[in-house]
Amino acid sequence: MRVDAIPLVRPSLGERELAAVAQVFASGWPAGQGPSGKALEADLTRRYGVADAVAVSNCGAALHLALLALGVTEGDEVIVADYTFPAPAHAARYVGATPVFADVRPDTGTVDPQAVAALIGPRTVGVIAVDTLGLPADYDELNDLTRRHGLFLVEDAACAIGATYRGRPAGALAPVACLSFHGRKGITSGEGGALLTTDPALAVDARLRSSFGIGSIFDQAQVVGLPIPEFTEIGYNYKLSDIAAAILQVQLTRIEELLERRRAVAAHYAHLLADEDLVTLPHVPDDRSHAWQSYLVTLHPDVDRATVATALRTHGIGCGHGTWASHRQPVYASSQHCPVSADLARRNLAIPMHAELTPDQVERVVATLRTALHTRTRAGAA
C-alpha cells in the first residue's frame, strides 16, 4: 500500500486492546467460553437490555444458530432482505429452508415492509431484516407484520452497532438479533459475532450448539471430579476465543467515541458533495440514526462505476461496489426480481469510511471523486 494511501476501511485498535490481550495470555485460557467470553456476554446483555447474549465466531454463525433454535427446517421459507451481503440467505440454506428475497426501499436500501407482506405464503415461517450498511430497517412495521402472521423476526444488525431506531439501539429491535465484530465494523476483534435474544431458552439452545452440542468445557473444568460431557445436539465449533472477547470488552466502551468520529466523516462528505449532481448521498430518516459502517454514494446512470473506481484506486483511494443484490447471485438461481435492489447494486459506490479518517483525507477523496465523475461518464468514456 502506498504511504499516502487512503484505505476503504481501517480498524481502530490500540494499546488498551493490547493490554486486554496480555491479560488473557496471563490467565492461561485463550480458548472460547472462558472468563473474558462470559464477561463480554454479560456486558452485551446489559447494554442491549436482552435476556441473554451468546458470543460466537461471526455473525453468519449467529444467524445459523438463530434459525436452528427457532426450529426452521427443510420445506420452510424465510423472507430475507435482498440488498445485503447474502449471509441471511445462506443461513436459510444451511438449515434446508428456502430464502425468499424481499426488495428494499429506494431511499434507504432497507427492506420494504410492503414487499415483505406481499411475499408471505403458507410455507413462510419468519423474516430476517437487515440494518443495511448501518441503517436500521422499519422495525415497528416489521414487528407488527410478523406478530399478525405468527412469524419470527430476526434483526441482522451486523453493520449497525451504535445505530438507533426511534430511540432504541440496533441489536434490540427484534426478539432475536445478530451482531458482527468483523474488521470493518464499528467495533471489532478482527472476526466475531453475537446472538442477542429476549428468549432465555433460545439462548440456551444457541450456546449449546455453538460448542459442538456439549456446552462449556470451561464450566465443566470448574466442577470437582471428572464430569463426562454428553453430546445432546449436533453442534458446531462457533465459539468466540477469549482473546477476541477481551478485545471486544474494550471496544464496547469505545462505541460512542468511534461512532462520533464516523459521524464527523459522514457529515464532512455530505457537506462537500452537497452540490454534486452526479451522486445521490445516503438518506437517513429522522426517526433513526446511522452507524456508518460504510459510506455509499449512488452514481448517476450516466456514470461508469468501474472507471471511476479505477481512477480512485490509481490515486491510492480505496473504494468498493457497495453490497449485493442477493437474488442475482448464481448460488441461488432465483427467478425473483427485486428491481430496487438490483438498481442500487449497479450504481452504489463505497468510498473510505472509518474512524481514523482525517478531514484532509476526506477532502482528497472528494476532490478525486469529483474529477473522476466528470471525466468518466459513459458518454465521456466512449
Which residues are catalytically annotated? 185
Q: What residues pair up with 193 in beta bridges, in sequence order? A: 56, 180
Q: What angle do CA 280, 4, 187 make, to 5 degrees?
A: 65
Distance CA 319, CA 312 (A): 7
Strand partners, 92: none
To 10 degrees, the CA torsion angle through 153, 156, 160, 166?
-10
For residue 211, the 8-state DSSP code is B
Alpha-carbon distance 203 to 263, whole Å? Answer: 33
Query: 183: exposed, middle or buried (C-beta count within 10 Å: 0-12, 13-18, 19+)?
Result: middle
Burial of 109 (0-12, 13-18, 19+ CB in 10 A): buried
Phi (first) and psi of residue 234, to 5 degrees: -75, 110
Taken as a whole, the chain contains a residue count of 382
Find out whether 262 and 56 touch, Cβ atoms under 8 Å.
no
Residue 280 near residue 373 (C-beta atoms within 8 A)? no
**HSE-CB of 292 using CA atoms within 13 angstroms:** 25
